[in-house]
Amino acid sequence: MGQVGASCTAGCVCLSEELQWLRSACSRNRCRLIFNVCKAMGLRVPTMLDYNACERQTRMAIATTETLHHDLLAQRRDTVRVLNYCSETRRAFNGSICVMAPWDGVWIFHGCMQGVDQCGDFGAASGNDHLLMPTASPQVKDRSTFLRTQLTFSVADPGQCSSMQIWATEPRPSHVVLVQKAVVNRDNDETVNTDGLDADVIEAFRSIMFQQACPQPFFVPDIPGAIPKQAHHHLIFDEFVLESMTKRGWPRTQGMTMLTPMACALYDHWKNKADSS
């Protein structure tokens, strides 16, 4: 890319070997991380040799499924598609992953389940239709962030990110989690029932909420300019949202798999620990 300079086009970048290597390397990075962690913890994980590694004996985990938050794809009509926090179902080889709020775990929306193992496979593309699925539960911090969120997706074709616009176009109080500073006060553990939940995840949740929470209960309002600063919202996939996704083509009868967190190590945990030591 650097050698050809101004002659380099979007199509060249999208199809370039350099870009394919970066996509592959990021994927292999995740598989290597999982392999290393499982090996250190003594957990059995399916593995394979990393054939693209310089060191030929490098091993990595075999991915059951994978979804990218950001991607560039070459289209048939001589276009390059930019995907941000959504994925194409026709590219999904085993369900479509959506990362929810930390305490909600990870959801995998199923595709067509014909002829697959019900206990491990999540289905291929959603039938014959091409759909775009969200890859993460959107977060809104305050008005400015809300605008930035809209801006992020405003560069996309409305149809392309329609799944994400469910919340932007049809907000209502039940779409948001109420957060109040008093509720997330880390010194007051009795205000939140954490029975049966992962302590690390709850701690991460409280830490984030405490930093971002608003002083008063807060809803996404329909009045422009009415959103106070420092508000933080995790948008949730409730019945209304799932129904909206169904109307847009997601075969809800195929179902979804909700992975429940047992233990989770966040980058922020390690960073804070490293900084303090």
The size of the interface with other proteins (CB under 8 A), counted in residues, is 101
For the bound state, the minimum distance from the C-beta of residue 216 to other proteins, rounded and expressed in Å, comes to 28
CA torsion sign for 54, 265, 83, 35 is positive
Within residues 48-87, the interface with other proteins by CB under 8 A covers: 51-55, 58, 61-72, 74-75, 78-82, 84
DSSP β-bridge partners for residue 71: 83
Selected from 91, 99, 168, 192, the binder of other proteins by CB under 8 A is 99
151 binds other proteins (CB under 8 A): no
Cβ distance to other proteins smaller for residue 181 or 255: 255
Site string for other proteins, 166-205 (x = CB under 8 A): --------------------------------xxx-----
Selected from 59, 91, 106, 145, the binder of other proteins by CB under 8 A is 106
For the bound state, the minimum distance from the C-beta of residue 261 to other proteins, rounded and expressed in Å, comes to 6
7 binds other proteins (CB under 8 A): yes
Compute the distance between CA of residue 103 and CA of residue 86 in angstroms, rounded to an integer.
21
Compute the distance between CA of residue 6 and CA of residue 164 in angstroms, rounded to an integer.
34
Q: Which two tokens stand for residue 259?
A: 């992975």
Q: Which amino acid is at 53?
A: A
Closest residue by Cα to residue 130 from 73, 175, 171: 73
Site string for other proteins, 237-276 (x = CB under 8 A): --------------------xxxxxxxxxxx-xxx-xx--
